[in-house]
Homo-oligomer: A and B are copies of this chain.
Amino acid sequence: MEQAVVDYLEQHADRFVAELQELLRIPTVSADPTCKPHMQRGADWVYSQFRDLGFKAEIVRTPGHPIVYAECLEVPGAPTVLVYGHYDVQPADPLDLWETPPFEPTIRDGAIYARGATDDKGQFFTHVKSVEAWLKTKGKLPVNVKFVIEGEEEVGSKNLDDFLLAHKAALACDVAVISDTSQYAADIPAITTGLRGIIACEITVTGPKKDLHSGVFGGSVANPATGTARMIAALHDDQGRVQIPGFYDDVQPLSTADRAEFAALPFVEAEYRSELGVSAVSGETGFTTTERRWARPTCEINGLVSGYTGVGPKTIVPSKATVKITCRLVPNQNPEKLLQSLEAFLRSKLPTGLTMEFTSFHGAPGFLMDRSSPYLQAASQAIGEGFGKAPVFIREGGSIPVVTTFREILGVDTLLLGWGLNSDNLHSPNEHFSLTNFQRGIRASAALWGCLAK
């Protein structure tokens, strides 16, 4: 990395923290209607950062909270990078569990404590400060950059897709960068190269037209709670394998290299069990816990209700049972096709005398970065420079919808570069961000622009 940039980052490190504190003082809780003026202040603050750097920037109104867009496109022929982040934060309550107030950022034990410290103000801000260092020392960036910093990530990014679709041409880029994930563990920086997809549905199984007396009628009509349980039970075999026909057809087997890479990561099962409060891990036979979480599809019951659920007994045969089901998908599995298979499978297991209503919710495919991507290699090198050690490649079992959106609308992959830690209390009281990681993140980001230019 250019020495001048490195020097600048060191000289201005304290100011960067002070500026982050300014941003953290603005209570940009997107879910809280009373925070609406603060959302505007937050957007203004972010906008002013870009304006002061000479970016072409604007605050884009949406039906919800504004999106800050900024660009600096001065390197013809060099790659264009789209950086995504969000200035909104989770609600802070329960307030009484915070050691210091959530919107009075406080530094202790080498970390800055405030709501949004890691998620995502502290993380996206690293890219703003790295850009500043390049511009202030070299006069220009080695790549073209576009920033989309939204204000509704914590409430479902309801207006982001419309913005991306409406500005598809203007947002054209070669790769996207998001710092809104975590390192694998403390001092084990990571790039997240895979995400699972999802399908979600709800079924309602109906038997008799109203709850029946279980003495008078029990035994003579199908019980929808029992029937639903039998349908659910059919979803897995005794080895934990999902029984929906074709479910695994498009799953690419984990390669020996993938499995070796996962296995090389430190993982203490006893700690994992203790963290979750379970006596044993469980899942698809033949796979490790990490493989089950990151690289195998699942079928989970998220909720279930039927009949009487109050105190004590009630002697009824319920009229209905409702179940919520989500499947996590791995890359290459087709959400639409699997939703159809799931519905057909459940219908095939529906006991005589019951009817079934099937409602599907959103679906999204999994994401897997091409490991030979030059962008990935550039990011790996940059993290090596920023953190002093090469990152590990990890996956994440959840879904990050914007990554799918970027692929679908803009046709690009996303580099998921997390500077924070899972233990930073994201979405919980006492959220914090290590100042060391903040600084390492800025350095890695500064290095990234150079590496991506090559």
Contact = CB atoms under 8 A, between A and B. Distances in A.
A333 to B, nearest CB: 14
Given A225-B232, A293-B220, A328-B219, A213 B303 contact: no
A332 interface: no
A213 B398 contact: yes
A355 interface: yes
Given A214-B328, A303-B309, A282 B222 contact: yes
A236 B322 CA distance: 20
A20 to B, nearest CB: 27
B215 A398 contact: yes
Contact of A280 (B218, B280, B328, B352): B352
Interface size on A, as a range, is 35 or more
A75 interface: no
Nearest to A422: B216
Interface string A347-373: 000011101000001100000000000
A226 B217 contact: no
A235 B225 contact: no
Interface stretch (A101-109, A311-319, A336-344): A311-319
Interface in A202-253: 202, 207-210, 212-223, 225-226, 228-230, 232-236
Interface string A291-309: 0110011101111111111
A191 B162 CA distance: 72
Interface stretch (A34-42, A88-96, A144-152, A271-279): A271-279
Interface of A: 196, 198, 200-202, 207-210, 212-223, 225-226, 228-230, 232-236, 272, 276-284, 289, 292-293, 296-298, 300-310, 312-318, 321-322, 324, 326, 328, 351-353, 355, 361-362, 396-399
Given A226-B233, A305-B306, 10 more contacts: A200-B315, A210-B277, A214-B328, A215-B396, A218-B326, A219-B298, A219-B300, A219-B328, A229-B229, A302-B317
